[in-house]
């Protein structure tokens, strides 16, 4: 399901890191007209301890080599660009900026840059959450598999019966099967290591398969 595109930014807090000049003044004026709450700091100031968690978006002067700019990638970061030199654009990419505004700043273009940055950042965050969830599910499956192998060995039952055992215990205690599996493995350090071994063995198997396929294609 596709998420809705955010077009209303009223109430968002914006941090502008730029010298006090006409570009900053125009930008701040446009942002306030869009309903944002704007804080302004000079790029020369020591703002390494500035609390970024209170902001929703940040605007950074990309014409300066700001060594602290990489910390802004925790937010939707918009670069203010005066020249399109390759070295400066490379620095913008490495700093994690996901949108830009050309200087001199005008009334037009600010809303577009803000819309692209906020929505692209949210899309990336959603992907990151999905990847984290998939990794957790994969780790849980390895744990369950290791616990099943332990039960088949210690109890002399097949995999189906072992899984029914875990599932019944989980339903009785109303906790996930993965948690029950971890408790079983915690009783046997050797079995607990099996979950990690399963992942390592899968990686080795994939590597061997890839090598074999390459040989066959030669």
Rounded CA separation 96/69 (Å): 9
Collapsing DSSP states into helix, strand and coil, what is residue 45? coil
Distance CA 178, CA 195 (A): 12
Q: Name the nearest CA neighbour of 126 among 10, 13, 1, 15.
A: 1
| Residues in contact with 48: Cβ distance below 8 Å, sequence separation at least 6, in sequence order | 68, 71
101 pLDDT more than 80:
yes
pLDDT greater than 70 at residue 210:
no
pTM: 0.67
Separation of alpha carbons 162 and 175, rounded Å: 17
Percent of the chain exceeding pLDDT 90 equals: 36
Task: Over range 148-167, report the average pLDDT.
Answer: 88
What whole-number distance in Å separates Cα of residue 116 and Cα of residue 5? Answer: 9
pLDDT at 7: 92
Nearest to 61 by CA among 115, 31, 105: 105
Indicate if the pLDDT at residue 100 is higher than 50: yes
């Amino acid at each position: 399901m596709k998420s809705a595109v955010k077009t209303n930014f009223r109430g968002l807090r914006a941090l502008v890191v730029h010298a006090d000049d006409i570009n900053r003044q125009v930008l701040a004026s446009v942002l306030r007209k869009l309903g944002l709450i704007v804080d302004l700091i000079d790029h020369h100031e020591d703002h390494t301890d500035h609390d970024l968690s209170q902001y929703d978006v940040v605007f950074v002067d990309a014409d300066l080599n700001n060594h602290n700019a990489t910390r802004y990638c925790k937010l939707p970061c918009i670069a203010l660009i005066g020249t399109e030199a390759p070295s400066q654009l490379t620095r913008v990419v490495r700093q994690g900026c996901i949108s830009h505004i050309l200087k001199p700043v005008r009334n037009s273009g600010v809303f577009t840059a803000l819309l692209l940055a906020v929505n692209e950042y949210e899309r990336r965050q959603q992907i990151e959450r999905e990847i984290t969830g998939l990794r957790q599910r994969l780790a849980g499956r390895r744990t369950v598999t290791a616990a099943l192998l332990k039960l088949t060995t210690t109890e002399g039952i097949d995999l189906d019966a072992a899984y029914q055992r875990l599932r019944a215990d989980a339903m009785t205690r109303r906790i996930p099967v993965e948690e029950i599996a971890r408790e079983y493995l915690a009783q046997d350090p050797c079995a607990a290591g099996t979950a990690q071994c399963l992942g390592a063995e899968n990686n080795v198997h994939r590597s061997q398969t890839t090598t074999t396929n390459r040989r066959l294609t030669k």
